[in-house]
Amino acid sequence: MTLRRRVALGLAAVVLGAGTALLLRPHGPAASPRPTPKVYSVVPLPAVIVNLDGADGVRYLKVQVSLVMRGPMGKDALAKMVADRTPALLDGLIWTFEGQRYDSMRTAAGFRTVTGRLRARFGEILAPASLDRLYFAEFARD
């Protein structure tokens, strides 16, 4: 075999090997592990009656909320966590509304303010789960 033929066969082998390597390599970005999906759960709290300021003629407010939560645990674990922390949640609910004036909560801005305070208080109590939304099932005055 001549030198010219050996060089041509060597180059052909290198080109064929490089082409095969390019075809067999993975295409696109490397697959990253999928994050664990968070489970959503809606958990109602019992209704409570709170004392208001009373200067505007409204002395009591009946409030009942449901919590929309998500967390890395299952729905049963979220429900158990809320059940275990219900006394603290009800205390937070009562003290958020206690002494407020009904007139100040009748406006959208006033209601958002009180709801924001309630979400912040509940968020501290419910960690590591997160509170996504509050649904008011009852908001009745007397």
Q: Is residue 48 part of a domain?
A: yes
Q: Is residue 121 part of a domain?
A: yes
Q: Which domain holds residue 57?
A: 39-141
pLDDT in tens, 50-88: 998 878 788 899 999 999 988 778 888 888 999 999 999
Q: Alpha-carbon Rg of the chain, whole angstroms?
A: 31
Structural domain contains residue 104: yes
pTM passes above 0.95: no
- What's the average model confidence in pLDDT over 16-24? 62
* Domains identified in the chain, total number: 1
Residue 66 belongs to a domain: yes
Domain membership of residue 27 (yes or no) is: no
pLDDT at 4 over 80: no
At 10, which helix (H) or strand (E)?
Answer: helix 3-24
Q: Which of 101, 82, 90 is nearest to 41 (CA)?
A: 82
Q: Which domain CATH number covers 47?
A: 3.30.479.30
